[in-house]
Structure 1
Amino acid sequence: MVLKQLFLVILLAAAAMAAAHEALSLDGCPDKCGDADIPYPFGVGVQRGTSRNCFLDHSFNLTCNSSSSTLYFENYPVSNISLQQGQMDILTPVSKQCNGDYNDSYTNLYTKDFTISSTRNKFVTVGCDALSFIEFTNNNNFHCNSGCVSLCDELQSHQNKTNDGTCSGIGCCQLNIPVGFNSISLGASFRAFESTPVSPVNNCTYAFVVKDDGFNFSFNYLDNFPNDSVPLVLNWSVSNGTCQTASTNYTTDYACKNNTDCVNSTDGIGYNCKCKPGFQGNPYHPHGCYDVNECETINECTMPNQCHNYDGNYSCSCPHGYKGDGYKNGTGCTPSYIFILIALGVSVALLVVFTLISTLCWAQKRRTLKQIRRRNFEQNGGNMLLQQFSQQHKYTERTKIFTEVELKNVTNNFDEGRILGRGGQGIVYKGILQDNTSIAIKKSKLGGDPRQIKDFINEVSILSQINHRNVVKLLGCCLETEVPLLVYEFVDNGTLLDHIDPLKNEFSISWETRLRIAAETAEAISYLHSYASIPIIHRDIKSTNILLDHNLTAKVSDFGASRIVSLDETQVTTMIQGTLGYLDPEYLQTGQLNEKSDVYSFGVVLVELLTGEKAVQFSRPEQTNLTMYFVSSMKEDHLWEILDKQVLDQKNIGQLKESASLALRCIRVKGEERPTMKEVARELCGLMAMEIHPWAKGENLMPEESEYLLGHVPNVDGEIGASSSAFHDSMQKEIIALEIADGR
């Protein structure tokens, strides 16, 4: 607690010192009026809470017009006050007389304590055949008169030969200001001289005293002079004495404070104060000037950390092992000979050690990386894959083994922005090869599970044997990484579910496209079952595993759960695996996997295409499971109520009936009652070629049509009723299998 209080006191003291350093006016006094600063000894009013004046004496008393935010010295607006130059800029009126006025125009300026700067001002007259005069007076009542004549008889030729800005007697004349005067009286008059003037539009004469950089003559001013007032510079000083008398008779009235020098006024009246070299601030302020830390600003030290600040100045030095004075404009700092030898020896030794260590680290890193890649290869089932490839010589040429570096380069080091999707078995990234070919890279989530590694190797082995336009093509794999990577052709239009789910796609695809996609998918599955060199059961047919390219061509994907069936096998006993809503009820009950399991899953996809509904949807009040909902609706003759409104059309009623009948046969509980995928593909191709039934416009659908729809199923009423009960029981077991579905 004591330390905190001490720290707070130090901060407050530092803040007070910083405020004192930057102070221009006295405490409790305004330091600005509008844009103009008010530095002491000048001031406005009295200090807040006291009766003490904010100014040194009444000659420095200013006023601030709060309504216009204008600072005034006597009756003249003040634009700037310079402490270093001892000068003040004010605005004074312009004296003006035009042709026809018979009385001369006068302007008077009187400053009791300040003088008109002789080095910063000039007396100017603007006009044609113009005569101006000025009278200077000082406090000793000494007078000095002068005048200026401006002619225009050569104005035309002068304008043709020269540019504006020259005040040399043609349209404009000027005089210098004598030293030490604090009062002026000036006037302008129009006189007709013996010349042939070129009369401007506005034949007027203007006279004024103006600071050197406050006025530039232009011939346009003869027609229209733009200013009613001009800036003028006053010299100000403190007291009427000199620095010698002020320092000899040092009193509390001496204006120069700490760390300041006294400088006699250039006009010979009074003196001014300046901060000593190495100090800055307000030399008239009671706090005086404060030291400038040259080590924190620009200095002449060769080495910045060898700068030493002290009051009013600084010094430079050289560190140990160097010689010189430490100044840039001096001898600087150079290493001594012994130091160079020592530094060179140390540098060489360090370089040798660094090179040796780097070489050892590089070699160790290569050995470690090689070991890691070998370990990853073995853990990711590389030996198992090589063994399977050795049995499939003609297929291995289609599969390339990618390196980790290659895949990092094409995915920008697996950047988050390259992720196409996430699933239960991994993350899919988009990559671009050097030939601008887009690829999809699947990064599996294995986690050391031998069964998942086996699924991965199974997918590589199966896809390497498949060559079908409606099956996603496997381009290669990478086993060097911690988790294995699969490289596929890139399918750029999302999944089938993305296009039929109204929550994901506002514009649903047409029935003709849906029917074609169903036919292409059926052909791909039929190829896997019947035409591949070894029959393949996909085991996870669903709408999210059917990808669509830019032409909406179907591509069956995700073979992680697939199984190869020997030619002498009709079914395989496996651990139940699949996705809730698509699982074959018979497979779910018996664990016996066969080709009819894929037929059931495809039937669910066909129902999704017909209804636009998801396979499992907990928000559906009628029935969570789509197949149960579909069978129940068919039994109650409500087919037209559950069809997707996007596909329902008078022209395709026949196709819809036949497709619904086919879907109903595919999702029968008993596998032996389902058609084969070859039969399904043949029927769908036939439906695509089917002539559209010419239904009458506006004709209502009759119950007989629904009966026709069920006509493909023998003993419809009895079988559907019986099947529904068994189907319902099977669905309950399928829901229990959600945990078995392997997270997919």
Structure 2
Amino acid sequence: MALPGSSCLKRCGDVNIAYPFGIGAGCAMEGFELNCSKTKDGHSIVKFFGEIPVRDILLLEGQVRIMKHISTMSYNHLSKENNLNTWGKDLSNTPFTYCGKSNKFTVIGVNTLAYMTDNVHVIVGCVSRCSPYNNLLAQDGICRGAGCCQVPFNEDMSNDGVYFNPLYNTTDYYSNTTEYRGYAVIMESDAFRFNTTYLNTTMFFDENAGRVPAILNWAVGNETCDVARKKNDSYACLSINSKCVDSSRGLGYLCNCTEGYQGNPYLPGGCKDIDECAASKPPCGGCINKPGGSSIGVVVVVIASTCTFFFHERKKLAKIKQKYFQQHGGMLLLQEMSLKQGSGFSIFTEAELIDATDKFDDKNILGRGGHGTVYKGTLKDGSLIAVKRCTLMTSEQQKEEFGKEMIILSQINHKNIVKLLGCCLEVEVPMLVYEFIPNGTLYQFIHGDNGCHDIPFSTRLRIALESALALAYLHSWASPPVIHGDVKSSNILLDENYAAKVSDFGASILAPTDESQFVTFVQGTCGYLDPEYMQTCQLTDKSDVYSFGVVLLELLTGKKAFNFEGPENERSLSLSFLCAMKEGRLMDIIETRIKNENDIGLLEEVAELATQCLEMVVERRPTMRDVAEKLDTMSKVMQQQHPWVPPQHNPEEMESLLGESPVASLEMISSVNFSTEKRIVQGLLQSGR
């Protein structure tokens, strides 16, 4: 590993440059290169990636404070046009991420809806409203939806691509102003205080020349300390008196000086002994600096102190674990479990899950999402599990509700929903333990490099039906009802028989009972988000219906829900599909491999069902129960047309899955179009019934 020479700059402008950061060839660790440039007024400034100003480097905290571009949207009342100027920096494949704890996504404006995405899945956003007619009036220092809104992050983000909704960002609130602006940016929470003048002036943008502070986290490498220590040629903690600390984001590590030392742990000899005498006024008897281990007496004292320290630390750790356990509703959960013996739900210790996942080794990662990282694990009895390390819960309300929601999820028992086996509550952020599902996600099945692109239509229809049954159960038979909140193909798993299992309830909520339970921020996945939810911030069971409609499109077309690299008018699968339907070009968008002359009618019906799910007006969308019933009817027709296809569900099974009486089958048949009825009759005649 190359180390900086004496000629490397130690300071640029007001910023101290500390290795692994550096300016110039051979002065920085790979990925930590900075440059020093002059501004127009002659001041020196440090820049990150050659474009982002750096305000401060926090070496031991593993953070950098940067100045982030503000994205803007201006609306002209006269021309009725929006002008968007958005900024984003993708930090993927770099040592840096946007810090989830220190930053918030901030939106300022009158009726301004903005959101950001990591270009893969996660979306976070909010809407700032302002109206004299419903008392939504902005106030200085308050950013809670009126003229200003902020959203915390569940985890660190690698990208901050900002998007405004141009359909929503129009207003006549300031009738005497030709143009008004809306702003959106990820910024340091502690550096912001809302001012109402931001709404009718350009002050927010101008006071920092279009930039605001934001915090980046960083880490060295992409392995844990245990792995890194074994690599002498690349291990970064070079000072003898340094220690390695695993990064909180699960990838990479940081270096710190051991107790009693300070300095730069990334340099040989960088951690210097702290002179206790120089650090404080010596007592009357003088002062003796203790660099460590100068006599037997000192050694004895150190050993005794260490033993006492570890005893108290162990006791403190036990108390902390007990605190977390109670905080996450552990006592309530234990009480509930005692009333329901044999439920199969277990409370795991942290040690059990560390052992099962081989210390949460990267090789056991099954996937990452907006709500946590999932690891494959093996219990001592040899059974396989999936362990989800959830992201940090920031609010007290989240912590209080977690235990109650855990009880509800533990009681969900449906063949097409991944079974929650237990949880670990003695840690700051709870861990969930699910049954292990071996064949990956529906997303991988359809879109993956090794995906089975030759999936027959009958299999796609069965997977759609099983997924719909699971969602219908959550909406109509779970008590209280549960809204999934993030329905997508990557949250539908496939078991050893390729049966669908709906998973990932990180975004799920209990069905709201009144408007006070609705929030002012939006979370979900790009391409699947219900437009109504994005505008009203009200997540309902019909939001799940919309997202499921997009999953149906994936099964029909083999295309991804959102393609960031495609032409503007083809990025959204739902929009391009609805356009094709309107123009009578359905067969142009259906995947070629499933086009079959005998199945054209069924393909059209599934497409029509998807269209109903994607209705912009929420009230016009069917319920998930309706969707499941229609898909079951189509599956039965498929069985009549192709007798070699295994039956999907017999009447008794459908009755138990949907909670319906046999009479419902007649109602289902009457709810589908005439072409379906005709094929049912033809099928019955051909079978001699």
TM-score range, shorter chain: 0.3 to 0.5
**Which TM-score applies when normalising by structure 2?**
0.46
Larger radius of gyration: 1
